[in-house]
Structure 1
């Protein structure tokens, strides 16, 4: 996954969201959220068949685990319209997890095949 960028949907300008930091909002459930766009890199291990409508689980699940976040909005309409750009809202109960996630902006996050069915992830 590459070309991570901050995405600010219109819904963040409603009464259901309170700005909690640069690119970070607190929703009415008390979760901290942010939205990002990124591209699947079909040249990378696990992402060969990935697209905005069907994001590859490798390395996406590792991204969620590494930053201790979950997907809170998939932006179905935006992902359905796009051939390349993936739109996702990420959430956590802790603002520090979202702050850490935002450090991925401008970087790549991908899996490297170690052989024998194992892989490791790289952020650069």
Structure 2
């Protein structure tokens, strides 16, 4: 994408599934990979304590312990609610990000129905 100098944002076919309480691919409802190296980071003006590592997408992340170091960046996806979809955006160097599904992005690719 970088070699082609693309500056557009694209939907990649992932969404937050309320029934499974997890991020899933639209095509077959399989779980999306979380964390690095797939998902981008976002900046937050306020300082947020970082919670312990979270690897189980079907559980709620644990809160940070008192006195935990504070950071201004967090890794997406951060939204665990209906109406959020996975995209790759130019702003985030085409890493996965969680975006409102109503945003106007192009699909990265399309599959024809049989």
Q: Which structure would you say has the larger Rg?
A: 2
Larger helix share, 1 or 2: 1
Q: Report if TM-score (shorter chain) is over 0.5.
A: no
Give me the TM-score of the superposition, normalised by structure 2. 0.31
Larger strand share, 1 or 2: 1
RCO comparison, higher one (Cα < 8 Å, 6+): 2
Give me the TM-score of the superposition, normalised by structure 1. 0.30
